[in-house]
Structure 1
Amino acid sequence: MRCAYVESQDADRPLDGLRVGDLPDPGAPLPGWVPVTVRAAALNQHDLFSLRGVGLPAERLPMILGTDAAGVLDDGTEVIVHAVIPSPGWHGEETLDPRRTLLSELHPGTLAERVWVPAGNVVPKDPAVTWAEAAALPTAYLTAYRMLFDAAALRPGGTVLVQGAGGGVATAAVVLGRAAGLRVWVTSRSEAKRARALDIGAHAAFPTGARLPEQVDAVVETVGAATWAHSLRALRPGGTVAVAGATSGAMPPAELNRIFFRSLRVVGTTMGTRDQLAAVQRMLLATGARPVLDGVLPLAEVGEALRRLEAGEVFGKVVVEVTA
């Protein structure tokens, strides 16, 4: 089975351990799992974390990369794969299971000709959504949807600041926020990325750390240390910072005095539920919004795509076509 996988790990040179080649089809790890023939899979920072050895123990190598995919069940049903795998016997929301994993952490991932998932982890794909668009949804767009409408509880007319324009979750937050009737502001160190953010629907774009015209209802925070102080300063009293990542470092000063004195809410969130993934697709169909794609390329070129992702050269999602 053709796939992209982690052969070895290196924190400083993660791409040295990437291989594109053949591994055996692992088959169903547990009863009730089904195979999906992968048509398209999207790349994420999670893939680079795995190559660095973050969240993936070396004893599980070789491990097929990838959390996001769209493909076809054996009966011909077109589906989107939900990547959050609850532990056996867990009942309740899958994101709250302390033993949950994502595809490519414990079980082989989606950058392969076939991936096995629990039967409940697939969402029917609407024909109006392309394979590449569908593959972009399960991590970035699901995470952004949950941050905006669950963690931050934003409603039409609210103002949201999205830190770090250009990343997968950030671009998803711009697209979904604009489609939902939010006023969307973004920040970036890059003038080019600020301009691109305006092109895809942001109402205003500012340099990282800039003083804003007014305070906002919520902040979408995935950058971490580099933007944390600005995120807290940007919030109106009673506002919410929704946190789903810390790509620049996870240990900034907490600024607890500001948080309690201004009654700010800090809400952590990871991925989302299968039902929320279905809701994201419904939102796209109802509004006409679509994921921002940086490019679509064959599996053989996944190394170059991950290099660009590591270098911060990507705007939106990179999608890999796996099977025709």
Structure 2
Amino acid sequence: MLAAFVSTPAPKDPLSVLEVAERPEPEVPDGWTTVQVKAVSLNHHDLFSLRGVGLPQERMPMILGTDAAGLDEDGNEVVVHGVVASPGWTGDETLDPKRTLFSELHQGTMAERVAVPRRNVLPKPAGLSFAEAACLPTAWLTAYRMLFVKSGLRPGQTVLVQGASGGVATALIVLGRAAGLRVWVTGRSEEKRAAALALGAEQAFETGARLPERVDGVMETVGEATWSHSVKSLKPGGVLVTSGATTGFNPGAELNRVFFTQLSVIGSTMGTREELESLLQMCSTTGVRPVIDVELPLKQAREGFERMLEGRTAGKIVFTP
């Protein structure tokens, strides 16, 4: 079957080790099933995998991809939840110290077929296309958990989203607006800021710009490049929710500001199966849809990876096997 995969890491030149070629059919353990993949979305996690971050050489070759939508063995339209709990784990799977995502321990979803635990298969709402549904289990679920599970923000409050054009950031804009939040964003280019405004952001600013007023919350996925600005942008008692660090993991601490103004800094990772169910329901009832930048056949995966590596994104990049 056709798949996008990595056989050896390349920390400094990740695209040099991206392969799109034939791979063996998936092995199906007890309690698992197979899904015929109709669409899979690209995430920064996939670039990290090419670099060998969280994916040691001994687990390669590894098919990339953490989320997908497709058909189950009975032909039903389904969405694949990307967090795989360890055997016997109960409760919030994101707190399982041995949890993994597809493409870390188990072969990923960027293929014509993928093996998944049966509990990781959810019905796809009829109103969502396969491409739209494939955007939800990683980036959009991450945004949903940040806003509605972790932040404690209420409708009418102001939230700043750092980095306006990525998959999580665009999800935060659309979901925040739908929930009645005032959404402000930062973006590196006028084009990215204009796109964020078109999605529903109230105001858009250059990266690092002084804001008209401090905000109630900041959603942070950029990391080192924006961390100091995020902390300085918060009102006393404000909340910063972080779920990633695409520009680096060594931010300025700003600890004096954190404790003097009694800020909350909260980590958030992915989301649970139940939260994905809620996100699917929210999309169905509100008409909210993921923002897709480009949809490409899987054989052209390199083009999508190049767009993400160069920061030329305005929403999600989707591949169709």
- The CA RMSD measured in Å over matched residues stands at 0.9
Q: Do the aligned partners of 2:26 and 2:113 also contact (CA within 8 Å) in 1?
A: no
The corresponding residue for 1:237 is 236
The corresponding residue for 2:65 is 66
The corresponding residue for 1:99 is 98
The corresponding residue for 1:276 is 275
Determine helix, strand or coil for the equivalent of 2:8.
coil
Which residues in structure 2 correspond to 1:223-302 (within 5 Å)? 223-302=222-301
Determine helix, strand or coil for the equivalent of 2:172.
helix
The corresponding residue for 2:307 is 308
The corresponding residue for 2:11 is 11
Aligned length: 321
Which residues in structure 2 correspond to 1:199-238 (within 5 Å)? 199-238=198-237
Task: Give CA deviations for 1:41-80 in whole Å, capped at 9, x if unaligned.
Answer: 0001111111111110111111000011001111122111
The corresponding residue for 2:149 is 150
Task: Give CA deviations for 1:226-260 in whole Å, capped at 9, x if unaligned.
Answer: 11111111111111000001111111221111111
Distance 2:70 2:240 in 1: 35
The corresponding residue for 2:54 is 55
The corresponding residue for 1:163 is 162
Determine helix, strand or coil for the equivalent of 1:74.
coil
Distance 1:216 1:75 in 2: 49
- Aligned-pair CA distance for 1:26: 2.6
Distance 2:48 2:224 in 1: 18
List gaps (5 residues or longer) in structure 1: none
Q: After TM superposition, what 4+ stretches of structure 1 lie above 2 angstroms from structure 2?
A: none
- Aligned-pair CA distance for 1:7: 2.0
- Aligned-pair CA distance for 1:288: 1.2
Determine helix, strand or coil for the equivalent of 1:155.
coil
Distance 1:104 1:237 in 2: 40
Task: Give CA deviations for 1:140-167 in whole Å, capped at 9, x if unaligned.
Answer: 1000000011111222111110001101
Distance 1:231 1:184 in 2: 14
Distance 2:248 2:298 in 1: 30
For the pair 1:83 / 2:64, whether they are aligned, the reply is: no
Q: Do the aligned partners of 1:222 and 1:245 also contact (CA within 8 Å) in 2?
A: yes
Distance 1:252 1:5 in 2: 31
For the pair 1:27 / 2:64, whether they are aligned, the reply is: no
The corresponding residue for 1:319 is 318
Instruction: Name the amino acid aligned to 1:261.
Output: F
Q: Do the aligned partners of 1:222 and 1:247 also contact (CA within 8 Å) in 2?
A: yes
- Aligned-pair CA distance for 1:115: 0.7
Q: Alignment identity in percent?
A: 60
Q: Do the aligned partners of 1:40 and 1:319 also contact (CA within 8 Å) in 2?
A: yes
Determine helix, strand or coil for the equivalent of 1:24.
coil
Instruction: Name the amino acid aligned to 1:318.
Output: I
TM-score relative to the length of structure 1: 0.97
- Aligned-pair CA distance for 1:31: 1.5
Q: Do the aligned partners of 1:149 and 1:155 also contact (CA within 8 Å) in 2?
A: no
Instruction: Name the amino acid aligned to 1:292.
Output: V
Determine helix, strand or coil for the equivalent of 1:176.
helix
- Aligned-pair CA distance for 1:120: 0.5
TM-score relative to the length of structure 2: 0.98
